Structure 1
Amino acid sequence: MNERVGLLKQLQNQLNINFKNPSLLDEALTHRSVLRGNKKGIAHNERLEFFGDAVLKLILSEYLYHKYPAYDEGELSKLRSQFISDRFMTIMAKELQLSDVIHVSYGEKKAGGQFRDRILADAMEALLGASYLDQGLAITKEWFLTMFETVKEESQDLELTDYKTELQELCQKKDGILPSYTLIETTGPQHDCTFHVQGMIKLNDTDIIVSASGKTKKDAEQKTAQALLKAIEDSLR
């Protein structure tokens, strides 16, 4: 426990903030798996993750609005979706080394759960929510956007495209028939499962069906949408 207190202090130093209510920070970095041992009175981070998701959208919406004055609503939405994605939040969480300080159950830790993208992305959003509640919007924006600019620069070569949105916009321009996504199966152990998704779209009275896999359902759907876009492109050649 003393080691965790020290790690939480290091994180605050890294962000250049000092939590007035340290229990909020502790909650933000506590995964719900700790409740499996029936530990009463322990709060996990799902509520803060929910709140932090809204804070993230607020900060990035304002940032993008001022950063790209020539972009219309659709272009801003597409750009924002890239930066609020699980993948980008995971990159930011790794930059802060949140895996070192996330409190997970013994079993989850033994399985390497603290390194899972989903857990890291959720913790990053929960941290934002906790910072907003404890420090306010101005201070939260300051540390987050400073870090965001750095990570964005370092991540320029990464694939952050929102293929689902791109595919949906293409379908609406065509005939309004939207793609469908179906979770076919989930394989592997619970702590490290793989999601298999099938996607279908009708084009010129022909059903195009593809499938893809990912470590989260969202990732699998994105890869499926990417495959559908490729299939449509090939069919139009």
Structure 2
Amino acid sequence: MTNDSYALAANPLLDASRRFEQSTGIAFRDKTLLQRALTHRSYVNESRVFLQADNERLEFLGDAVIDFVIGEHLYHRFPEMREGNLTNLRAALVREETLADFAREIHLGDFLQLGRGESDSGGRERPAILCAVFEAVVGALFLDQGVQAAKEFIFPLVEPVLPDLVEAAAAKDAKSRLQEWSQSEFRETPRYYTVDEFGPDHDKTFVVKVCIGESAWGIGDGHSKQQASQAAAAQALEYIDLHAPSGTAPAPQLDIPASVGHEPDLA
């Protein structure tokens, strides 16, 4: 065994940081920054040999860097997108589940230093822990090499998921957009009614229509009333965009069944 091999075996942090650099192709100038980013507080609490700060301060910094980098990227990437959709899209990209997915994609859990109890209880796959270590690595990279290096680390992970998230962000905003249009054109708030529901309890599908005044403007389905009402609003917006890009559209003639109930759903 070489001297380097002995050193790696004796110092798990050194070994983890070396493996991270080999896996990602990123060479840190200050290795202690990377080692700290990969250190969960449970490891510090249990360690009796290598005393090192945990990654929570770097996580705090990385969270801010990610917000800025992604916000700037979306601003330039989608020059025609409205502020509300940009906000929804950024929120989808920086949420815990998405950042945890990015961490899994680059196998960050394999390099993370956890206490034995946390490791044995599945900490390496816990979304909150994976999100935190991803943020910490971004924070460390920003301190070590600047914002451009952080961008080059983040963007290859962001771009493949953007198309689906753009579609989801637009759908999420459909109800608020329809409400703005309806109140502007008719001084009416859209109402949503369940017209059908089917399937087993664990996998039920709901069908919802959206009405403005006495007319139905759209219908949609989904595995929750909220999802179905978003789909109904999106269909109504498609009709409006087609027939009245600026101005009032005639109500569509939709063949929609009667509601299950007579009162609007809180969907």
2:226 corresponds in structure 1 to 229
Instruction: Give deviations 1:106-135, integer Å, cap 9, x for gaps.
Output: 111111211111100111011100000011
Does 2:57 correspond to 1:47? yes
Task: Confirm whether residue 152 of structure 1 aligns to residue 156 of structure 2.
Answer: no
Aligned runs of 1:133-172 on 2, under 5 Å? 133-149=143-159, 151-152=160-161
Alpha-carbon distance, 1:74 to partner: 1.3
SS in 2 for 1:70: coil
- Specify which of 13, 20, 28 is matched with residue 22 of structure 2: 13
Equivalent position of 1:2 in the other structure = 8
Evaluate the alpha carbon distance shift between residue 87 and residue 135 of structure 1 in structure 2; reply closer, same or farther with a 3 A threshold.
same
Unaligned segments of structure 1, at least 5 residues: 175-202, 204-225
Whether contact under 8 Å (1:24, 1:130) holds in the other structure is yes
Q: 1:33 — aligned with what?
A: 42
- Give the secondary-structure state (helix, strand or coil) at the position aligned to 1:25: helix
Q: How many residues align?
A: 185
Give the TM-score, by structure 2 length: 0.58
- State whether residues 11 and 96 of structure 1, in contact with CA within 8 Å, keep that contact through their aligned partners in structure 2: no
How is 1:113-128 mapped onto 2 (pairs within 5 angstroms)?
Answer: 113-128=123-138
Q: 1:227: how far off?
A: 5.8
Match of 2:79 in 1: 69
Do the aligned partners of residues 90 and 17 (structure 1) sit closer, same or farther apart at CA in structure 2, a change above 3 Å counting? same
> Helix, strand or coil: the match of 1:128?
helix
Structure 2: which 5+ residue stretches go unaligned?
1-6, 183-190, 192-222, 231-258
1:181 is matched with none
Q: Looking at CA atoms only, which structure, 1 or 2, has the larger radius of gyration?
A: 2
Identity over the aligned pairs, expressed in percent? 31
Q: Any conservation in 1 of the 2:65–2:138 contact (CA below 8 Å)?
A: yes
Which of 76, 97, 102 lines up with 2:107 in the alignment?
97
For 1:49, give the aligned amino acid: E
> What is the Cα-based RMSD across aligned positions, in Å?
3.6
Which residue of 80, 85, 106 corresponds with 2:90?
80
Q: TM-score, normalised by structure 1?
A: 0.64
